[in-house]
Structure 1
Amino acid sequence: MLLRKVNVVDGALALLDDTGLDGLTMRRLGEALGVRAGALYRHFPSKQALLDAMADRILESADLHLEPGPWDERGMILAGRLRDALLLHRDGARVVAGAYTAEPHTILFGNTSAALLREAGLPPRQAAWAVAAVSQYVIGHTIEEQARAELVEGGSWPEKMEAFAELADDVARSAFDADPQERFAYGLRLFLNGIRHELTAAD
């Protein structure tokens, strides 16, 4: 089989879904693709380069088309689509976290998000910072969300919850055992309210 870059990324994402990020090694990927690990380095000089390509493929699945409307509603939609893209793959958020990749779809997502905030009235520098802050929130929230899902699936979540016995029951439930989508939307609104305050202060 002629090994191409796209096949390597496809195989890496499939292995990621099967083993998680900690189980993703170049040796295992080579075995899954039926090649020696050295063959992978002809396409990707390092594992980090492969992770960058995987991160970009994950972001490629985020739909960037937005209907006209208020900037904050479109921002909520865009951030939600980023979360959805991260959730498509096991440990997807961990792959994207800290990638700092200059791959095409990663750049497109950042530029689209920044343009939305510039159109709303934020100066370019603040728009870039706001995009970074919101993206880091989405990624961080989704890392925790996926980690919790692993604990639930493995049956150890109740034991983890017992560790918070000193917290009031309503705090424990609200902070750790509430619906992830509901908590995500609440935190995102906090960020958007902060951006709205920046826009108002600039008027």
Structure 2
Amino acid sequence: MTTDRRAPLDRTRVADTALELLNEAGLDGLTLRAIAGRLDVKAPALYWHFKDKQALLDEMATEMYRRMAAAAPLDPADTWRERLLKSSRGLRTALLGYRDGAKVFSGSRFTGIVHAEQMEDTLRLFTAAGFTLAQAVRATSTTYFYTLGFVTEEQGVEPMAGERREGYDVGERARLMADHPLSARAGAEIFADFEAHFEEGLAVVIDGIGARYGIR
């Protein structure tokens, strides 16, 4: 006789399964029923752990952060500029690893203080470099918001690596906007080479922070 030894159902297992399904179905297709089916349980069982879908999204975002932090530990030798570059690039890479990753992460609330250690380290680095606490918060928040917004738009065009949504053919767009030549040509800048676009925009933001607060 065999005994079913499935892993016990807990928040971590549900969130891990939800992240797997996210890449298959996207945020709109991610339902508690689908997650329950993948876990081979009845949907009501999930409500012992999450009161609604937003509570689950909060846990998913928290798990995404845990994985991101584990993959890129902070370097105590960073300058403030290096910290902003690394954290922004790391966040973009992490979000691009999931279909609708930016939508899940944006607006979600961490379910614990998992982020506090890195946040404290970064704020300490910035204040030691000459920023006031308020300036440090503005600087880190601005680059964070830039990255979230950029990836949200990027995934609206390319949901996953190698995919491109219908309607974002740059050549077709240029043909339709032939009477507006600058706008037509701008499509190649807006909807292609997201890596270069992100890096240039990030440099603009960081240079602006340095200029605004007079800190090199």
Q: Same fold by TM-score, threshold 0.5 exceeded?
A: yes
Partner of 1:185: 199
1:63-120: CA deviation from partner (whole Å, max 9, x where unpaired): 1322514321232112111111111111111101011335333444444443332232
Task: Count residues in correspondence.
Answer: 201
* Counterpart-to-counterpart distance in 1, 2:23 and 2:152: 15
Is the Cα–Cα contact under 8 Å of residues 71 and 116 in structure 1 kept in the other structure?
A: yes
* Counterpart-to-counterpart distance in 2, 1:194 and 1:88: 29
Partner of 1:36: 42
Query: Is 1:173 aligned with 2:188?
Result: yes
Query: Is 1:23 aligned with 2:29?
Result: yes
Aligned residue among 102, 122, 126 for 1:117: 126
Taking structure 2 as the reference length, what is the TM-score of the superposition?
0.82
Is the Cα–Cα contact under 8 Å of residues 15 and 24 in structure 1 kept in the other structure?
A: yes
Is the Cα–Cα contact under 8 Å of residues 121 and 199 in structure 1 kept in the other structure?
A: no
Name stretches of at least 5 consecutive residues in structure 2 with no aligned partner. 1-5
Amino acid in structure 2 at the alignment position of 1:32: R
Deviates more, 1:31-40 or 1:143-152: 143-152
Partner of 1:80: 89
**Offset at residue 39 of structure 1 (A):** 0.7
Aligned residue among 132, 136, 153 for 1:144: 153
Partner of 2:12: 6
Aligned residue among 169, 180, 195 for 2:209: 195
Supply the RMSD in Å over aligned alpha carbons. Answer: 2.4
For residue 9 of structure 2, give the secondary structure of its aligned residue in structure 1: coil
1:137-174: CA deviation from partner (whole Å, max 9, x where unpaired): 10110111111113953444217951762352432211
* Structure richer in helix, relative to its length: 1
Aligned residue among 51, 54, 57 for 2:60: 54
Is the Cα–Cα contact under 8 Å of residues 18 and 30 in structure 2 kept in the other structure?
A: yes
For residue 61 of structure 1, give the secondary structure of its aligned residue in structure 2: helix
Query: Is 1:96 aligned with 2:105?
Result: yes
* Counterpart-to-counterpart distance in 2, 1:111 and 1:90: 30
Amino acid in structure 2 at the alignment position of 1:119: A
Name stretches of at least 5 consecutive residues in structure 1 with no aligned partner. none
* Counterpart-to-counterpart distance in 1, 2:11 and 2:93: 25
* Counterpart-to-counterpart distance in 1, 2:204 and 2:104: 25
Look at both structures and tell me which one has the larger radius of gyration over its CA atoms.
2
Partner of 2:51: 45
Taking structure 1 as the reference length, what is the TM-score of the superposition?
0.87
Cα distance, 1:102–1:120 mapped onto 2, change above 3 Å: farther
For residue 159 of structure 2, give the secondary structure of its aligned residue in structure 1: helix
